[in-house]
Amino acid sequence: MESLYIIKIGGNVIDNSESLHRFLEAFTKLKGHKILVHGGGKVATQLGETLGIEAKMVDGRRITDIETLRVVTMVYGGLINKNIVAQLQRYGTNAIGLTGADGNFIKARKRPVKTIDYGFVGDIDDDSVNAKGISALLDAGFTPVFSALTHDGEGQMLNTNADTIASALAVGLSGLYKTTLIYCFEKKGVLKDIDDEDSLIREINPERYDELKTAGIIHSGMLPKLDNAFKAIGFGVQAVIIGHADDLGKLGDGASFGTRLSN
């Protein structure tokens, strides 16, 4: 079974052109099959403000009304996605920019209204990924670059969390490839002390994760990321790595980086 890297980059990388170029160069040097997933950074909010559309956030999550959906579709699926694809071509990666609607690769369903109406936000089911279709692209020599957009199969685009898309792709393709899921962001990995980059925790298994949660070392925003990571591992993903975008090149050199999660 061939190996596959699925790598998600955060908005902080996208917002910094130097960081983005360093990352894309390192991404290109990774051998074998790979998929890139990206969010939107600050550009969607800035463009929305220019157009007189105010960003509405609840607990750090964007409320996606129809006007906001138009903006994020333009920015995520257009401006950011195509700029990343063009830069990857420059470095020698034959990238192809996609949303979940392209090739019916990732379907989602509109999030039901409970206490909050998130608008046109998509939730992904376990069987939402068209693994065979994506595999055909990989086998043809293309490197898919997915933006944070899916569709419902009824003609409606949906704004969807990029972390969730990356995890769903990793799980969906784990039956065809030895899949490693990598989250690249602005920290070296999971830290014992959020303010101390030298406090990196290099390896976490489920037992260690329970200990770190009980001790209050892992908390708040890192919890859903790690919960999703261990869920993906439970569904057949080989390992999940969380680390700094600037350190991705170490993986291409055969070295480890960040925090590695595994069974």
Distance between CA 208 and CA 217 in Å, rounded? 11
Q: In what order do the strands lie in the sheet with 33-38?
A: 95-98, 143-146, 33-38, 3-9, 178-185, 239-244, 259-261, 203-204
Alpha helices in 92-161 (DSSP H): 131-139
**What's the CATH fold of domain 3-187+238-255?**
Carbamate kinase (3.40.1160)
Q: Is position 40 annotated in a ligand binding site?
A: yes
- The 10s digit of each residue's pLDDT in 88-109 is 999 999 999 999 999 999 999 9
Percent of the chain scoring above 90 in pLDDT? 70
pTM, entire model:
0.94
- Tokens 């209050």 found at: 216
**Over 80: is that where the pLDDT of 220 sits?**
no
Average pLDDT, integer, range 28-39: 95
Task: Grade residue 134 by pLDDT with cuts at 50, 70 and 90.
Answer: very high
**Over 90: is that where the pLDDT of 219 sits?**
no
Angle at 238 between CA 235 and CA 239, to 5 degrees: 105
Secondary structure of residue 222 in the 3-state scheme: helix
Q: Is position 41 annotated in a ligand binding site?
A: yes
- The 10s digit of each residue's pLDDT in 138-188 is 999 999 999 999 999 999 999 999 999 999 999 999 999 999 999 998 889
**Over 80: is that where the pLDDT of 62 sits?**
no
Q: Which residue has the higher pLDDT, 227 or 22?
A: 22
| Mean pLDDT, all residues of the chain | 92
Task: Give the pLDDT confidence score for residue 255 in this predicted structure.
Answer: 80
Given the DSSP bridges, would you call strands 122-123 and 109-110 parallel, antiparallel or unpaired? antiparallel
Task: Give the pLDDT confidence score for residue 254 in this predicted structure.
Answer: 75
